[in-house]
């Protein structure tokens, strides 16, 4: 996905919000904004928004010395999600269709996204869970359920801290011996890292690696060789979140994109409505991509 004009205000808001997490100094906020706006004036709009988000984080680190503005928020939402987990698991266990319910809740967890949702609080998470249980998922949910039942090698590309606890609801319903769980290669926004996987117990549950890139998405040309090897060997790829949808190739028929449509641009590209829960997969009539195509 390229960067659209409508992405620019969101990126500016993201930059100011992150700067305010780090410091109360208005002068530093202004300096960050001026540098980010200068970068945006020269940015290649053919690149995806997550590439600009990485640049924003680097700018904030340069101004403030803080490389992880969202660190405390990530810890807070990891704890919050772990507190919710027993109730979420009970909802799955009591369901007549447990895997479907687990997928719905895993997508609901994608609301824990401080890059896209500036005013996120715990009440919003509860509202999103309620919405998940009363609204149908748009897209190929049944195809995903069938794919998860096959004895294939699965690569699960995660998105945010806190959200990864919701992912566990699905992971526990499949054969974990054939799953590799992927987090980001470094701190960026509130995306999950190896530290978050350890804090939430995910790395004790399933083989966990990082992508090798501190980008809030998965840009194959920026990822490590070890990740690319796992990507190439996977039979099924689960891609969580908008950032991965914005960066991974859409014509790879192994990939199911799972996300909550939190911005109008992504919703429009996916052919859904704002706030929809989505399982997106390429149409079978499209041509198949070269597997290691760079974004």
Q: What is the pLDDT of residue 284?
A: 43
The yes-or-no verdict on residue 211 having pLDDT over 70 is yes
% of the chain beyond a pLDDT of 70: 95
266-291: pLDDT as tens digits: 999 999 999 999 999 986 433 333 34
The topology (CATH level 3) of 71-280 is Rossmann fold (3.40.50)
pLDDT at 118: 61
Lowest mean pLDDT among 139-143, 210-214, 232-236, 281-285: 281-285
Determine the pLDDT at residue 56. Answer: 87
Of 15-24, 87-96, 113-122, 147-156, the range with the lowest mean pLDDT is 113-122
Burial of 174 (0-12, 13-18, 19+ CB in 10 A): middle
* Mean pLDDT to the nearest integer, 172-192: 96
Averaged pLDDT of the chain: 91
Q: Given this model, what pLDDT does residue 290 score?
A: 35
Residues 111-128, mean pLDDT to the nearest whole number: 83
1 pLDDT exceeds 90?
A: no
- Asked whether residue 173 carries a pLDDT value surpassing 90, the answer given is yes
Query: Tell me, what's the pLDDT at 42?
Result: 86
Mean pLDDT of 33-40: 91
Q: Is the pLDDT of residue 79 over 60?
A: yes
Read off the pLDDT of residues 83-117 as tens digits, 9 standing for 90 and up. 999 999 999 999 999 999 999 999 999 999 887 77
Is the pLDDT score of 253 beyond 90? yes
pTM over 0.85: yes
pLDDT number for residue 89: 97
């Amino acid at each position: 996905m390229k960067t659209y004009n409508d992405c620019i205000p969101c990126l500016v808001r993201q930059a100011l919000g992150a700067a305010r997490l780090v410091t109360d100094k208005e002068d530093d906020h202004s300096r960050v904004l001026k540098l980010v706006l200068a970068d945006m004036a020269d940015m290649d709009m053919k690149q995806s928004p997550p590439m600009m988000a990485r640049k924003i984080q680097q700018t904030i680190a340069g101004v403030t010395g803080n490389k992880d503005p969202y660190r405390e928020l990530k810890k807070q939402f990891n704890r919050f999600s772990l507190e919710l987990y027993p109730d979420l698991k009970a909802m799955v266990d009591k369901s007549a269709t447990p895997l479907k319910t687990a997928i719905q809740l895993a997508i609901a967890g994608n609301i824990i996204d401080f890059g896209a949702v500036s005013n996120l609080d715990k009440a919003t998470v509860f509202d999103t869970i309620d919405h998940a249980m009363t609204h149908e998922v748009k897209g190929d949910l049944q195809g995903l359920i069938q794919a998860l039942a096959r004895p294939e090698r699965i690569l699960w590309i995660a998105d945010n801290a806190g959200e990864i606890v919701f992912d566990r609801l699905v992971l526990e319903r499949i054969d974990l011996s054939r799953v590799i769980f992927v987090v980001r290669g470094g701190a960026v926004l509130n995306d999950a890292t190896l530290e978050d996987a350890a804090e939430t117990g995910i790395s004790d549950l399933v083989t966990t690696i990082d992508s090798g890139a501190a980008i809030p998405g998965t840009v194959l040309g920026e990822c490590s060789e070890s990740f690319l090897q796992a990507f190439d060997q996977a039979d099924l790829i689960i891609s969580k979140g908008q950032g991965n949808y914005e960066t991974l190739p859409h014509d790879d028929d192994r990939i199911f994109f799972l996300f909550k449509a939190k911005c109008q641009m992504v919703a429009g590209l996916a052919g859904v409505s704002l706030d929809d829960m989505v399982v997106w997969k390429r149409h079978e009539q499209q041509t198949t991509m070269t597997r290691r195509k760079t974004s």
